[in-house]
Amino acid sequence: MGPLTMRSLLLLSDFILILQAACQTTSVVSTTSGLLYGTELDGVISFKGVRFGEAPTGQLRWAPPVPFVSNQTQNATVLPPSCLQQFPFATSAFTQFLFNDPPPASENEDCLFLNVWAPSANNTTEKKPVLFWIFGGGFTFGTGSLLEYDGTSLAANQDIVVVTVNYRTNIFGFPSSADLPIAQNNLGLLDQELALEWVQSNIAQFGGDPDKVTIMGQSAGAVSVGLAIVRDVLNTPFRAGIMLSGAPTSTLPTPDYSSFGAFATAMGCSQPPGAARLHCLKQVPASTIQNFTNGPRSHSFGRPVVDNVTLFADPLERIRSNATAQVPIILGNLENDGTSFTVGMTNLTAFLEGLIPGKSISSDLVRTLYPGQNDSFVIAEADRDFQFRCPDELWSAALTGAGVSSVFRYTYGAVFANLEKFPGAGAWHSSELEPLFGTVNRSTATLAEVTWSSTFQTAIANFVKDPNTSPAINWPKYIPGPPAKTFAKLAYNGNVEPDNFVDPVASASLDGPCNALWDKFLNFTA
């Protein structure tokens, strides 16, 4: 047989697409967003690009989200565009390589969409638990439309309903603008709330139980889960939370509007802060705004402001005073959460000056907390602790102290060569997501990696199904401090099987630097 011609390849490609289409059937669901036409394939129904909010464009730019309601037919077969993303200029290429590769198909200011995956077979009348996913990205970038977050595997293998959402980020979602009322600055968080309201109203149509919703997020998404727990005291639209590498800690209550002011001037809107300047800025094309924020003259946008509605200055104190939702929680961090943020850093003194501006921290003191290591290693470890492990430690202690009986704390150590995107990455920030969603590349994955994906995914799904029971063998409910061995080390030594991946240790064995130094910078009265 001779070599394939280009025409033969095109015909073969068309034939494959025809076969794929033949294996799919149409699925129809009636929702407040309209009559949705999705697809059914391999035991999973999927509805992609479901609009839950009106387009936040024109006069709705920098406005709270408006629910989208329709009785029209909607095509829900294609992943929607991402909200416009910001990749700060100096680190753009590396950040996109780590967290946006492959990128979403498109970006658009009109982006308030969500996606739903659900098992198509339902042999009982019992509604299924729901996993609501909030993406990370430092509130500056990210989308629910990444292929990494495809919910097919979780829905098919774990018999749960999966929802992924978009929310506005960077200057579009967190502008820190004096032109807006303070309570309208955290627009991305309001988008998340609207999407959760949509789930409460509609998820039963997909076989999901609105009373069995677990919200899960990673990094900024985990912070978002924490903020929802802190503010949603009454009529909580979820029954449990999962916080992967992120937890909100004390925040200074005074907002900084300077970056937005500089942006307005650059856009040619020189009016004083207020309605006139905001009107001027709403006339600027979104592409012009994005080009500026991704350029060398822009600051990074994405810091929520304290509004005492969506964000409080003292979340830990609110937990301790029982002013928050009392829900079961899984929370934890990756062993090497700091490596991707500190690549190439060798100057410990400079790192510490940037870590907590205005605070003097002795390099010699920090070295004593991580003995026997060079400064590059110390920087990565300190970054991990300050950003991720210590906030988790504070949250775990506050929750258990407030009487939350089901807290499961972990640290994740699984490392696979094909998932390490740079030398020395280790279990780097977000490397758990492909195994969790079951979207690992099976053509390059080892048997251990495939096994781990199933093991880890099942443990998380077990919690979604019953958040008051241990998600895995030997994973106890967390008790802070010695001598309790309840801090779960996951897959640290190649242990990836369902019956051996958990190694519970005393929290003091890993939290020493937090207790000795970092906690005091994270837990303060503003």
Q: Which residues are annotated as catalytic? A: 219
CA distances to 10, 107, 199 from 65, rounded to whole Å, are 44, 18, 15
142: left (phi over 0), alpha (psi -120 to 50) or beta: left
CB atoms inside a 10 Å sphere around CB 20: 10
Spatial separation of the C-alpha atoms in residues 60 and 68, rounded to whole Å: 13
Q: Where are the alpha helices (DSSP H) in 234-293?
A: 258-266, 275-282, 286-293
User: 3-state class of 452 per DSSP?
Assistant: helix
State which amino acid sits at residue 302.
G
How many other C-beta atoms are found inside a 10 Å radius of the C-beta of residue 255? 17
User: Residue 339 region, left (φ>0) first, then alpha (ψ -120 to 50), else beta?
Assistant: alpha
Q: How many Cβ atoms sit within 10 Å of the Cβ of residue 444?
A: 11
What CA–CA distance (Å, rounded) separates 417 from 423? 10
Say how far residue 251 (Cα) sits from the centre of its chain.
20
Please give the Cα distance from 164 to 150 (Å, whole number): 8
Beta bridge partner(s), residue 244: 218, 332
Instruction: Give how far Cα 47 sits from Cα of 77, 150, 471, Å.
Output: 6, 11, 29
DSSP 53: B
Query: Distance between CA atoms of 337 and 340, rounded to whole angstroms?
Result: 7
Asked whether the beta carbons of 502 and 489 are under 8 A apart, the reply is yes
DSSP codes of every residue in 138-164: TTTS--TT-GGG--HHHHHHH--EEEE
Residue from 367, 49, 302, 287 nearest 171 by CA? 302
Count of residues in the chain? 526
d(CA 305, CA 313): 9
Terminal CA-to-CA distance of the chain, rounded, Å?
Answer: 76
Q: Can you tell me the distance from the alpha carbon of 63 to that of 188, in angstroms, rounded to the nearest whole number?
A: 10
Written as six digits, the tokens of 183 are: 């309570």
336: DSSP letter: B
Residue 486: phi and psi, rounded to 5, are -130, 5
b/e per residue, 26-64, with b = 16+ CB within 10 A? Answer: ebebebebbebebbbbeebbbbbbbbbbeebeeebbbbb
